């Protein structure tokens, strides 16, 4: 397997660019119990440079999202749980977006499962699968459908174990497990943790940024937003995943340097994304 070390750049912006040039991203996330997941993913996508971010959320999440991320537009998919008619309407809208992310904070009740099914069946564009989308697929494997090269799977070790039954420990085991997962499921596997591994079955990237302070609630939601944003801006799935984990980790390092590892929270990483992007050579 080819070991990749060079990272892509965020595409440059033409002087006459408009917001439609930088990706229309849809984030299907959040629940009445976990509204912050949608907020964090949306804010991360916006800070990474997305021109337009839309969140499909239960109505109960809308107020929090509007207050914390007013730049993001909203599609309401029910009150506390997804409504079947609104989920069906969502299926018609999904093809309009350049990239989609699904999973953060959805929960695993039947309504959330319906949402994941609709997204997987309706989305032919690049798709980030995270958190409860992974848990739903682990519990209902038929939900995943046919393998697709456009998918970016982002499990942490526990989610990988639920999906595959294995929990690799060493760096070598982690790399091999991510490669097997990508080869079997299609697309790209981002196996999170120390030395996050990105694999597509042919290429392998091991991230060198990040620190223990990032082991905090919402960190994965931020990564989902970053990768979705890069996909929407035109990066291929493997490249978007590699650059995404690098920038996410670098933002975490900047936050830890300023605040101390123990005090870092997910929102601090979002606040450092612009500096991380500048240091890498791109611009949000």
- Find the helix packing angle between 131-139 and 157-164, rounded to 10°: 20
* Under 8 Å between Cβ of 62 and 70: no
Beta strands in the chain (DSSP E): 2-3, 24-28, 52-57, 73-76, 99-102, 127-129, 151-153, 188-191, 197-199, 203-206
Question: Which DSSP category does 82 fall into?
Answer: B
pLDDT at 284 over 60: no
Give mean pLDDT, residues 68-97.
89
CA distance 4 to 18: 33
pLDDT at 225 over 90: yes
Three-state DSSP class for 104? coil
Q: Lowest-confidence range among 82-91, 210-219, 254-263?
A: 82-91
Supply the DSSP string of 150-184, one letter for each residue: TEEE---HHHHHHHHS----SHHHHHHHHHHHHHH
pLDDT at 125 over 90: yes
Give mean pLDDT, residues 51-64.
94
pLDDT for 143 equals 93
CA distance 273 to 40: 12
Angle formed at CA 279 by CA 276 and CA 284, multiple of 5 degrees: 60
CA distance 227 to 150: 12
pLDDT for 80 equals 66
CA distance 150 to 125: 7
Q: Place 66 in a pLDDT band, splitting at 50, 70 and 90.
A: very high
Q: Which two tokens stand for residue 138?
A: 């682990």
pLDDT at 277 over 90: yes
Give mean pLDDT, residues 226-231.
98
Give mean pLDDT, residues 146-155.
96
Give mean pLDDT, residues 181-191.
97
pLDDT at 283 over 70: no
Give mean pLDDT, residues 173-197.
97
Q: Place 86 in a pLDDT band, splitting at 50, 70 and 90.
A: confident
pTM of the model: 0.97
Over the chain, what is the mean pLDDT? 95
* Under 8 Å between Cβ of 30 and 65: yes
pLDDT for 83 equals 74
pLDDT at 64 over 90: yes
Domain boundaries, the chain: 20-277
pLDDT at 282 over 70: no
147 versus 81: the higher-pLDDT residue is 147
Q: Which class is domain 20-277?
A: alpha beta
The pairing of beta strand 197-199 with beta strand 188-191 = antiparallel
What residue has token string 């519990």? 139
* Under 8 Å between Cβ of 62 and 39: no
82 versus 27: the higher-pLDDT residue is 27
* Under 8 Å between Cβ of 216 and 263: no
Chain segment 162-183, per-residue pLDDT in tens: 999 999 999 999 999 999 999 9
């Amino acid at each position: 397997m080819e070991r990749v070390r060079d990272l892509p750049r965020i595409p440059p912006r033409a002087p006459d660019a408009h917001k439609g040039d930088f990706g229309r991203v849809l984030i299907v996330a959040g629940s009445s119990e976990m509204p912050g997941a949608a907020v964090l993913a949306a804010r991360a996508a916006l800070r990474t440079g997305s021109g337009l971010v839309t969140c499909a959320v239960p109505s109960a999440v809308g107020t929090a999202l509007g207050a914390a991320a007013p730049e993001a537009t909203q599609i309401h998919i029910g009150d506390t749980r997804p409504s079947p008619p609104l989920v069906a309407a969502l299926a018609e809208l999904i093809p309009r977006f350049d990239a989609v992310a699904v999973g953060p904070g959805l929960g695993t009740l039947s309504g959330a499962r319906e949402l994941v099914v609709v997204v997987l069946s309706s989305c032919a564009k690049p798709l980030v699968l995270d958190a409860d989308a992974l848990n739903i697929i682990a519990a209902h494997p038929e939900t995943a459908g046919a393998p697709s090269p456009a998918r970016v799977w982002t499990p942490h070790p526990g989610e990988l174990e639920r999906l595959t039954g294995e929990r690799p420990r060493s760096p070598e085991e982690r790399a091999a497990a991510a490669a097997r997962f990508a080869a079997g499921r299609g697309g790209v596997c981002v196996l999170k943790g120390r030395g996050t591994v990105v694999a597509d079955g042919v290429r392998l990237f091991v991230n060198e940024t990040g620190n223990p302070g990032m082991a905090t609630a919402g960190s994965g939601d931020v990564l989902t937003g970053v990768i979705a944003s890069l996909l929407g801006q035109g990066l291929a799935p493997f490249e978007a995943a590699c650059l995404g984990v690098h920038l996410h980790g670098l933002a975490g390092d900047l936050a830890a340097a300023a605040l101390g590892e123990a005090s870092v929270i997910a929102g601090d990483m979002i606040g450092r994304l612009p500096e991380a992007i500048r240091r890498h050579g791109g611009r949000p």
